[in-house]
Amino acid sequence: MHVLILGGTTEGRRLAELLHADPAVRVTSSLAGRVAAPRMPVGDGRVGGFGGVRGLTEWLRTHRVDVLIDATHPFAETISFHAAEAAASAHVPLLALRRPGWVPAEGDNWHMTDSLDGAARLLPRLGRRVFLTTGRLGLSSFAGAEDLWFLVRTVDPPEAGTPVPAHMELLLDRGPFSLDGERALLHRHRIDVLVTKDSGGTATAPKLAAAREAALPVVVVRRPPVPEGVRVVTSPEEAAGAMGEL
């Protein structure tokens, strides 16, 4: 059985490990290539796009893929919809592996929104010193917020020419992060509002606990929907167990 994992997440790497342990399964992991030094999973690997739906469909057919698993980031909306269309065209079963989203706890002061533009509109009434943890690709949504200061944490710096906030300090770092470290970061930079996507998982969740302790408002960007009709599993183990059902 040849399984193609659209990865780049912790769950995708763990799933590759589980499937690679089975000698009857060949695993290929595909990473988008948006991170300069990606962590490659075990098994076969490739980096870069497919060339849209048509390219992915042809890849599935040419490489005789038996199962396609979308284990991309919950906010990688474009590739998820491309995967659904390509899987249907190539008649390949598709699973979407999505870690559960975060759930507010007692004491949280969350402000939900559907987009980064929506998050930017909320900020002026919530704070002036912003801890922005939504990644480097959406910084242009906050470029017009000239009255705010941003601490922007990303894995890689924004590309040259990308519109960014006028008052910004860039922090290049990669999770997992500790609660003590997040507490110190909020205190050191006098942060009064946090912006995050609902990525789920534990690697970056300590910032939510630190914000809760400091009674800070948190702007949370909701996830885009999974394509209609796609079966969703919530753990690598569940995905591996579903292989025999496809």
Domains 2-100+224-245 and 110-221 belong to one CATH topology = yes
pLDDT digits (tens, 9 = 90+) for 48-104: 889 999 999 999 999 999 999 999 989 888 999 999 999 999 999 999 999 999 999
Dihedral angle over CA of 30, 34, 39, 42, nearest 10: 0
The band of 143, judged by pLDDT with boundaries at 50, 70 and 90, is very high
Residue ranges of the domains in the chain?
A: 2-100+224-245, 110-221
Interatomic CA distance for residues 221 and 235, integer angstroms: 22
pLDDT in tens, 205-228: 999 999 999 999 999 999 999 999
| CATH of 110-221 among 3.40.50.720, 3.40.50.1100, 3.30.300.130, 3.40.1830.10 | 3.40.50.720
Please choose, from the candidates 80, 65, 71, the residue with its C-alpha nearest in 3D space to the C-alpha of residue 26.
65
**Topology adopted by domain 2-100+224-245:** Rossmann fold (3.40.50)
- The strands making up 94-97's β-sheet, listed across from edge to edge, are 44-47, 26-31, 2-6, 67-70, 94-97, 231-233
Residues contacting residue 238 through CB under 8 Å, at least 6 positions apart: none
